[in-house]
Structure 1
Amino acid sequence: MRAPIRAFRLCDAHAGCANDSSLPRILTLTDGGAMIIDAHVAVDMQRYPVERVMELLAAAKIDSAVIFADARARDIDRHNAYVLEAARLHGLYPFYYLGGNPFSDTRPDELLVPDNLADYAGIRWHRWVAEAIDREGRLDRDELEWGVSLMESAEFGALVSAAAVYNLPMIVEESLAITLEMVLRFPTLDFIVPHLGLQSGGQANVLQALWDQPSVYFDTSLAQLDEATLSRVGSDRILFGSGFPEGDPETEVNKIDSLPLSEDVKEGIYGDNLQSLLSDSAAA
């Protein structure tokens, strides 16, 4: 069962919040009206600051977003703290970034679970194992062997345990083989595969492998959602995402809006499904 969603009230950037000592405050989203929540937004203090993100979201009539550190960001620890504070100031959903920088082929020396992981709404796991984008699903046996060794380590076990205790979904972007291994090894965790699997083995390959896994969700960022995908996966596990900065929020919204779908289905994709994932139950 899932803990309450870690959504933060809006605060004035200068005056702060009333009773700041209570932060991070755990809130449940209101039931009134459909919300559009972007499930995939990367931020960077220098290149893609949250203020710019908020402008783009507002222009696209997007109400809120899941945010996490950009993979290229320097000093990921500092950016994870930035993400948490930005969520508090702007009413966003902070995900803790864990992974490598595939653009420089670097990653942390150790896999550590932060003391404040419970303050986040989820985990963004990005290519700790895979060195490059996987568009075809080709098996790299050495990479898989290393990935399995990592998943069997005490450090990874601590991360998985923490994710279970704090009810944190994981956005996982790895090669197809690593993604499958992770999903099958940890069936009690909720996973979000970004881009409908486009960069995790190819959309068709990923959907064929994971369409019937109830704990696996897919965000639409940078990909093309079609009726065949909806027919196979169903709409309840599809989450709208823009993939900013690679994707443009308004363009990605229009892609969903142009689909011949009922308003109920669109509302689910735009935000209701994500709300349900993050705030399924207050009981642990």
Structure 2
Amino acid sequence: MIIDAHCHVWPDEIARKVLADRPVGLDPVHDGTLDGLRRTMDNAGIDMAMTLAVANAGRTVWRTNEFVGRVDRSRFLPFGTVHPDLSVEDNLAALRENGIMGVKLHPLFQSVAFSDTRTREILTALAENDVPVIAHVGSGGTEEQNDRGAPRDLNAMMKHIPGLRLIAAHYGGYQVLDEAEQWSVGTGVYLETSWPPSMGTLPVERIRWIIREHGADRVVYGSDWPMTDPATEIAAIRALGLSADEERGVLGGNLARLLRLELPANT
């Protein structure tokens, strides 16, 4: 079974506008809609995908979670949003009442920082309620945005929230792989493999070393759809020279275990 841990989705009527505002050099290759994601998954042989929805302001948290909470649960795993403008209780209610199974945290587009007390309070509450989190880690924006998601601050934060099930996107340090190796690799987080415009741009030997140094059983495949083509990213995973067991784990088995999914016996 193949499960994609990193797929951004928006309502049809706003997906085009959102993607038009993306940074230069990160041009989308798909449309960002749920129907578009389903077609992409079918073409790439992907069984399930985490659908990530992010609110840039507190006032949009509820309707963002309402949207992603309505996805088809047979194919999609809804990961919603929180925001420090809201109380911890309001954030939890917006997740719970919309049936959201996990949270996407995005320091580049939200005013959340790993070093911020408000962020840590929300994540502590998520850990106490056993809600998994996937977070952008590393660069990709302005200096201020990059600092909010710095690998060193993620490392420090996780020491204070030991029970948090957290997936660190982009090998734990987008565009700052040296920092990822120093602060993310070998820690208690799960690493996720996406690296727009393609993981295939990274040195095979280095990525294989990172996966095994961290523990191949704690690495999960993600594409960062619609910014990359999932089939291409799956091929890049298969080109790493991992063992059959390691590859199966990265492509879906590890994430299924982390999210405690009940899967058919033959997957």
Say yes or no: TM over 0.5.
yes
User: How far apart are the structure 2 equivalents of 1:168 and 1:251?
Assistant: 30
Superposed displacement of residue 78, structure 1: 2.0
Superposition pairs for residues 18-33 of structure 1, below 5 Å? Answer: none
Report the equivalent of 2:71: 86
Structure 2: give runs of 5+ residues left out of the alignment. 16-31, 137-148, 263-267
Q: 1:129 to 1:40 in 2, by over 3 A?
A: closer
SS, match of residue 115 in structure 1:
helix
Letter of the 1:125 partner, please give it: L
Superposition pairs for residues 115-194 of structure 1, below 5 Å? Answer: 115=93, 117-118=95-96, 119-127=99-107, 147-151=115-119, 156-157=120-121, 159-173=122-136, 174-194=149-169
Structure 1: give runs of 5+ residues left out of the alignment. 1-34, 100-107, 133-142
User: How far apart are the structure 2 equivalents of 1:41 and 1:228?
Assistant: 26
User: How far apart are the structure 1 equivalents of 2:176 and 2:111?
Assistant: 16
User: How far apart are the structure 1 equivalents of 2:227 and 2:108?
Assistant: 20
Which deviates more from structure 2 when the two are superposed, residues 64-73 or residues 50-59?
Answer: 64-73
SS, match of residue 211 in structure 1:
coil
State whether residues 122 and 168 of structure 1, in contact with CA within 8 Å, keep that contact through their aligned partners in structure 2: yes
Q: 1:161 to 1:178 in 2, by over 3 A?
A: closer
User: How far apart are the structure 1 equivalents of 2:108 and 2:36?
Assistant: 28
Report the equivalent of 1:252: 233
Q: 1:109 to 1:166 in 2, by over 3 A?
A: closer
Aligned-pair Cα RMSD in Å: 2.9
Following superposition, which runs of at least 4 residues in structure 1 exceed 6 angstroms of deviation?
71-74, 128-132
User: How far apart are the structure 2 equivalents of 1:166 and 1:231?
Assistant: 30
Which of 110, 119, 129 does residue 86 from structure 2 map onto?
Answer: 110
Which deviates more from structure 2 when the two are superposed, residues 58-67 or residues 113-122?
Answer: 113-122
SS, match of residue 38 in structure 1:
strand
Q: How many positions carry a matched residue from both structures?
A: 219
Q: 1:98 to 1:178 in 2, by over 3 A?
A: farther
Q: Which has the higher contact order (CA 8 A, sep 6+)?
A: 1
User: How far apart are the structure 2 equivalents of 1:115 and 1:70?
Assistant: 16
Superposed displacement of residue 175, structure 1: 2.1
Report the equivalent of 2:194: 221
Report the equivalent of 1:139: none
Superposed displacement of residue 114, structure 1: 3.4
- TM-score, length-scaled by structure 1: 0.68
Superposed displacement of residue 185, structure 1: 1.3
Superposed displacement of residue 177, structure 1: 3.7
Match status 1:230 vs 2:215: no
Report the equivalent of 2:3: 37
Match status 1:198 vs 2:182: no
Indicate the structure (1 or 2) with the bigger Cα radius of gyration: 1
State whether residues 133 and 165 of structure 2, in contact with CA within 8 Å, keep that contact through their aligned partners in structure 1: yes
- TM-score, length-scaled by structure 2: 0.72
SS, match of residue 123 in structure 1:
strand
